[in-house]
Structure 1
Amino acid sequence: MPYKQWKAASGAVQCQMIDMTYPGAVPMHKVNFDAKTEYDMIQNYKVLQDVFNKLKIEKHIEVNRLVKGRPLDNLEFLQWLKRYCDSVNGGIMNENYNPVERRCKGGKGGATMKGCQKAAKSLQTHNMHSHGSGDSVEPRSKPGKNGITGGTNSSAEIQALSKEITELKMSVDLLEKERDFYFAKLRDIEIFCQMPELEDLPMAAAIKMILYAADAKESALTEAQEYIYQSQNRTDVEDENEE
């Protein structure tokens, strides 16, 4: 599975999108940002579905389809999720939300404990100097630098997520156009086969068997070919009887 496709299918990005929209609503310690197996991905989607239920978001997540990594399924879900988040926050990013800090609270695959401790230590140092005496110039400059770095990292993370969402949305648009194109072709074939002059012909019936096949896992081609073969045999037998 390609890297971007795997990231979209893991469910971790979706969890963080909801956490960004509803800060603190997602138990990030349960989110696995390094989920690569279907089992781990399913656990992430369970977390997301629980949050949906808690927030009364009426959306059933098709987990079994998403974890397969099919591009269209994942892109459609991400597009819906982006529209939902935009409807809540007006499309405006929460500048106070720190995705890196929230990932520190994530499960396997989130920020390392050492990195989290370093970030926490920097924040603690910043707060101590901010409330300290104004006579010392040197200590005040260092926490300021840390604060800027933290803000820059947060903004960069938000921009990266926004860019990824935009790219995925563009891919969805292209896939939807391609889907509509081929659907129109299939619809033309269906109408053609329903013409009074053709609808009773075995070939038209076989084509409709393929078009109306309900099980997407198995091809109806073999069944349609068998139908044509049997129809041809019946015709041959009838011709022989007439002779």
Structure 2
Amino acid sequence: MMDGAFFVSKSELLTWVNSLLCLTITKVEQMASAAAYCQIMDVMYPGCIPMNKINWGVKYEHEFVNNYKLLQQAFEKQNVHKHIEVEKLIKAKYQDNLEFMQWFKRFFDLNCRGGADYNAIERRKGVKTLWDACERKAGAAPVARSIEKSTEKLKTTPAPKPQAKPKHLGGGVNASEKQIAELKINSGTIEKERDFYFGKLRSIELFCDHFEGQNNKAVLDIQKILFATDDQEVIVNEDGTVTIVSSQTE
């Protein structure tokens, strides 16, 4: 059974993240990209994650994976024994992400010894996020209150009425609808292929987990390949060893 301290409300969790990182995240599901978790690790253990590798602009499931690789690597560096259910979290389902967020808040409360002087915007070095908050001035409303006002405004603004299709565009509209239908079919095929290969990689990762702590050279090399980020080059040498070469430095 989970510790009672894990059961933190959604509003409290969002206020915590937004205040800590100067963001305006409004939904638990938006945490699915893992970008915020990566920076929270930087608050707790400065420098454990290369900030320039965090991708704040990702919008799709397959794009989230790279951030989770960074997070898992940071966990390993700090000896945090927590299995991240990436395949579930990237789906951006409310319950899965809420539970992980609750765990992370508890983990933060138990282990963070600093962070009071942490400047989240400065640490991001000008990188824009999908939830940027304006820098607060003296007397400005807290981040959480700004979110509430924005949400209220969205709720009270009437939705625009749909406009009728011009009759003279009938042929062009039909052609566009046909193209959209074809794109949806192609998109569905690509998604199936993506999920298929992601499932294969996930199975390999779970297989490797069974050899944890055994220093199996082949398994360690496979993990190097699996967790290499998009700006790292994987080189398989003639003697069978694996070398990871980083093309960027922070």
TM-score by length of 1: 0.42
Higher RCO (CA-CA < 8 Å; seq separation 6+)? 2
TM-score by length of 2: 0.41
